[in-house]
Chains A and B, each alone.
Chain A
Amino acid sequence: MGSRINFPDLAFGVLLIAIGLVAWILIADLPVGTATSMGPGYVPRGLALLIGAFGVVQCARAFAAARVPLPSTALRPLLLVGASVAVFALLLRTAGLALTAAAVVIVAGFAAYDVRLRENLLLAVGLAVFAVLLFVIGLGLPIPIWPQ
């Protein structure tokens, strides 16, 4: 990879082109109308075109720039924070708030490099109790506390 490419700019440009393309395909069937009476497709089409054009310019400029590597991304926090959110989405309806909250905290806790097991478990229990007390009992949100 000795090339002179600005990789962050290139990645952003590719994302823009992808968004423009997907949007264009999704709105292909919508009536465009005229400038006087615009259909539902008029403005989104214009935007999709503009976004795509910006993407192309970004990509072109990325190739003409000095080399910039993609910044390194710490995968562990990203994956585990993401996983904890997914756990919440998957468990809440069946497991109830108490168990879900504890599970979210445990999974999220491991996203930190300096996680301590006992502290994390205590935190999970504490936050689960707190969440149930505050949100279900205090604020009255319609969330089941225990598994259905």
Chain B
Amino acid sequence: MQGAKTLFDKIWSQHLVGRRVDGRELIYIDRHVLHDLHAPHAFEKLANAGRAVSRPDLTFSMQDHSVSVLPGRTDDTYAEGAAFVRAMREGSKRNNVRVFDLGDPEQGISHVVAPELGMVLPGATHAVPDSHACTVGGLGALAFGCGTTELEHILATQVIALSRPKRLRVNLEGKLKPYVAAKDVALHIIAHLGVSGGAGYAIEYAGPVVRAMSIESRLTLCNLTIEMGSRSGLVAPDDTTFQWLAGRPWAPEGAQWDAALAHWRTLPSDEGAFYDREVTIDCTQLDPQITWGTEPSQVTGVGGRAPELDDVEPTRRAATQKALAYMGLSPGAALEGLAVDRVFIGSCTNSRLPDLEIAAAIAKGRKVAPGLVAMVVPGSSTVKRQAEARGLDKIFTDAGFMWGESGCSMCASTNGDTAAPQERVLSTTNRNFENRQGRGVRTHLVGPALAAAAAIAGKIVDVRKLTGEA
């Protein structure tokens, strides 16, 4: 259809400021959120160049990557992180940027805090010097993960210089079974498209599965977009989005809310809009997913097995063999029943209140298996408070889980939280790369339901068996 535009096209064209001499397009960044692992370097470069932050009022600093999550933490609880936390604080203050610091009641992981406070809005652009910036696409925002020099560029100019990506729509058909959630859907999509299948595209997730999802689930879905190589993933905003945002502290209110709402209703893709590629995936038969290898695409249903080498494409055999050896698995090994050493529930992927509620429902009245270490790290101090108001912390600690302060913790493992070599970890995070959670650590990515079930059983188990629903 002539003139029909996708959600992505609409946000891109509204934010297109100009075209540089080298052909790059300048896209205005409405909300720029920084974190302690990379921002200190950018602040320093900016100071050395004698440049100021262009829009400190649209820029926010989160202390999340190098912070301890131990109760009563200070800057120095994780000694190696203290320099980052302090440099972040000082750089932010020097540039009049609001810091969500340790002790701030709204501190947390940037990709959790920005949506929950209503800072990020449908149709807005968003940048974070972190590849999981794509998370906030769940609200219908267009987000870009970026490097440190790009971060400095945005600080100085409030725009990012990009080549326009292509458009890919992923239609998710059907209805999810009980205990199957956004994480499982996302892992399944990655298995389908491959770890570089999204490269060069902005991905729009659509279809009845997405429409039925809560905002927290959409944030989880979009979070894993980068694991297919795509910088941006987004979901068209709808009434679920608007109801979720209404009344959030940084969202517009009054007449401005009404005007915003009218604008947001124009954002969904037009009928007949052009996509460079379209993929349809039926999710009806999907089971809870678990990764068996060292890439998020190496995934199967919880009742599944690691692949037999004969079933793998010849070009992938060596890599598969290497992944299996790293994971301590034989070809064709069943995943169910493998002993688990550690469980981590948290991260920008799965640390929002509904994630914790799912895990708590499984943990309630049960005990963590002897010898297993289980951690729950809320995605933000706000989530932590809300969970405590519902008594979830008590359920977890009674069961033997550790209940932490908010931060990235064992997702990036840049705060000292790691597992021991060869430990098998069930983790609700986003990367099962070699050594991601510590040297030799065997990470299986799962959703919160499988993670909690494994903590109780002491082994990989189909949560539906544990709860008597299968």
**Bind each other:** no
Interface residues of B (CB under 8 A from A): none
Interface residues of A (CB under 8 A from B): none
